[in-house]
């Protein structure tokens, strides 16, 4: 998900709305002249008529993470070698039920805090020995190639 583009300058908005209000063409014609979409011009005109301004709205602050960083630090202190699954379970046990989060949220919070992860291969290892002998020939049980 990318960032929102910057809004059109207020001067451009004002000139386009004034041109439309003076009757210099339809929404489509004026919008084409000012290189904006018709729908954008309609919104600007509607806003000018409703509130008397075409100035862009203030940019929002974005989305806030639901993860409590103090709890994350405490969980990592308790389980410094824990996998993200283990850390998420420990985090979710520590916080209220309404504040529980998914593993990916904990992972993003850990990265924001500067924690580094080593990829571990978990699960059973091969119970058999090496598949090649010291000279590179295959080790087979009973059959020769």
For residues 54 and 58, what is the distance between their CA atoms, to the nearest angstrom? 12
pLDDT digits (tens, 9 = 90+) for 128-140: 445 555 555 544 4
HSE-CB for 106 with a 13 A CA cutoff? 25
Q: Which pLDDT does position 84 carry in this prediction?
A: 85
For residues 2 and 145, what is the distance between their CA atoms, to the nearest angstrom? 56
CA-wise closest residue to 60 among 117, 7, 15 = 7
pLDDT digits (tens, 9 = 90+) for 68-110: 888 888 999 998 888 888 899 999 998 888 788 898 888 888 8
pLDDT digits (tens, 9 = 90+) for 34-47: 999 999 999 999 99
Q: What is the pTM of this model?
A: 0.44
pLDDT greater than 50 at residue 143: no
- Please report, for the chain, the start and end positions of each structural domain, with discontinuous segments joined by +: 10-51, 69-112
């Amino acid at each position: 998900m990318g960032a929102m583009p910057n809004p059109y300058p207020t001067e451009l908005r004002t000139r386009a709305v004034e041109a439309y209000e003076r009757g210099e063409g339809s929404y489509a014609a004026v919008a084409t002249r000012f290189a904006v979409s018709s729908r954008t011009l309609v919104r600007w005109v509607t806003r000018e008529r409703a509130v008397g301004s075409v100035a862009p709205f203030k940019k929002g602050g974005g989305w806030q993470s639901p993860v409590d960083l103090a709890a994350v630090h405490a969980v990592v202190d308790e389980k410094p070698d824990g996998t993200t699954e283990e850390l998420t379970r420990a985090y979710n046990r520590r916080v209220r039920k309404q504040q529980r989060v998914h593993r990916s949220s904990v992972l993003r919070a850990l990265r924001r805090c500067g924690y580094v992860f080593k990829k571990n291969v978990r699960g059973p290892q091969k119970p058999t020995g090496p598949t090649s002998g010291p000279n590179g020939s295959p080790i087979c049980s009973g059959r020769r190639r």
